[in-house]
C-alpha cells in the first residue's frame, strides 16, 4: 500500500428521487508513471491507481481505467442518478494490489 493514501469524496447527503447529482472524488496518490529514473539512473517502477469505480446500490455509475498519464492525486468529477436512498461506494484499485474504499449514504429528501 502506497504511503499516506487518503480519499476524499464530495456527494450530496440528500437528493430528490431520480435526480442527477454531481460527484467529485480525489485520492492522494503519487501515480508513479514508470517513465522516470532515480538518481542512479535506474528506472522507477510504475505504481499507479489503475481503476476507479463508483457504484450505487449495486448499479454502476462510472468505471474508469486509469493509465500513467493521469495526474498525481487523481481527481474525477461526474454525474450520478439517484433513483432511491442508498449507499454510494467508491473504490480505487492500486497497482500494488491495495484497494481503497469510501462509502457515502444518500437519502431521498
Partner 1 sequence: MTFTRRQAIATGTGFAVALALPLPARAALEDTIAEFTAGAAVGEGGITLTAPEIAENGNTVPVEVDAPGAVAVMLLASGNPSPDVCTFSFGSLAGAQRASTRIRLAGTQDVIAIAKMGDGSFTRTQSTVKVTIGGCGG
Partner 2 sequence: MRQAWLGIVVGVAFAGAATADEFAKLVVNGEIEMVTRTQAPDHMEAIDEIRSGWTFRTGETQTLQMDDFDNPGMVFVEQAVEAWAVAEGGMGKSCADCHGDVADGMKGVRAVYPKWNETAGEVRTLEMQINDCRTTRMGADEWSYAGDPMTNMVALVSSVSRGMPVNVANDGPASETWALGKEIYYTRYGQLELSCANCHEENYDNYIRADHLSQGQINGFPTYRLKNAKLNSVHSRFKGCIRDTRAHTFSPGSPEFVALELYVATRGNGLSVEGPSVRN
- Enumerate binding residues for partner 2 (CB under 8 A): 4, 6, 8, 10, 24, 26, 28, 71-73, 75
Of 98, 108, 85, 84, nearest to 15 by C-alpha is 108
Cα angle: 67, vertex 9, 57; to 5 degrees: 90
Using CB under 8 A as the binding rule, whether residue 76 contacts partner 1 is answered as: yes
Pick from 77, 98, 99, 107 the residue near partner 1 by CB under 8 A.
77
Give the three-state DSSP class for 19. Answer: strand
* 4 contact, one of partner 1, partner 2, none, CB 5-8 Å limit per kind: partner 2
Q: Are strands 19-27 and 14-15 parallel, antiparallel or unpaired?
A: unpaired
Using CB under 8 A as the binding rule, whether residue 100 contacts partner 1 is answered as: no
Pairwise CA distance, residues 106 & 36, whole Å: 41
| Number of shown-chain residues binding partner 1 (CB under 8 A) | 35
Binding mask of the shown chain, residues 19 to 58, with x at each position contacting partner 1 by CB under 8 A: -xx--------xxxx-xxx-----------------xx--
Q: Are strands 14-15 and 99-108 parallel, antiparallel or unpaired?
A: parallel
- Interface residues with partner 1 (CB under 8 A)? 20-21, 30-33, 35-37, 55-56, 59-72, 74-83
Amino acid at each position: 500500500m502506497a504511503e499516506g493514501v487518503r480519499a476524499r469524496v464530495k456527494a450530496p447527503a440528500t437528493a430528490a428521487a431520480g435526480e442527477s447529482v454531481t460527484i467529485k472524488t480525489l485520492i492522494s496518490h503519487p501515480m508513479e508513471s514508470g517513465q522516470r529514473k532515480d538518481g542512479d539512473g535506474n528506472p522507477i517502477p510504475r505504481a499507479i491507481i489503475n481503476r476507479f469505480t463508483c457504484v450505487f446500490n449495486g448499479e454502476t455509475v462510472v468505471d474508469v481505467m486509469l493509465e500513467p498519464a493521469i495526474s498525481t492525486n487523481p481527481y474525477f468529477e461526474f454525474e450520478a442518478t439517484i433513483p432511491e436512498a442508498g449507499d454510494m461506494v467508491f473504490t480505487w484499485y492500486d497497482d500494488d494490489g491495495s484497494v481503497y474504499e469510501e462509502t457515502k449514504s444518500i437519502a431521498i429528501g
